[in-house]
Amino acid sequence: MDAGPAYNRPLMRRALVERSLRDVHARLVRVREELSVLDEQLVVFNDAVDEARIRSLVSETPLAGHDYSDAQRTADAANRLRDSLLATINELERRQDELLGRLVPGPR
């Protein structure tokens, strides 16, 4: 299958790289925004865990212990999500660097 004249191929490759770069950048912005929101939520979750822990220690009732466990599970899940978002950001930054390297080839 012919992709057109040979002189168009570098331009087509460049356009594909630029489009991929825009897509990666947009995803990176969205994930960073999501991380920012989650960080704000984590402050609230961690405060709730501390408060529930203290209530559990002071009241020594099964209900207070259950509330503490629920709050801790929620905070733990949010922390796992945060770790996942950080891994996604690292992968997207790596991909962005790779695409930039294709766009502006340096010394090899």
Query: Among 68, 71, 85, which Cα is nearest to 34's?
Result: 85
Instruction: List the structure tokens of 23.
Output: 């897509």
Q: How far apart are CA 2 and CA 107, in angstroms?
A: 31
pTM above 0.85, yes or no: no
Tens of pLDDT, residues 33-43: 999 999 999 99
Q: How far apart are CA 73 and CA 41, in angstroms?
A: 14
pLDDT at position 8: 60
Collapsed DSSP state (helix, strand, coil) of residue 96: helix
pLDDT at position 76: 98
Tens of pLDDT, residues 67-100: 999 999 999 999 999 999 999 999 999 999 999 9
pLDDT at position 72: 96
b vs e for 73-99, b when ≥16 Cβ sit within 10 Å of the residue's Cβ? Answer: eebeebeeebeebeebbeebeebbeeb
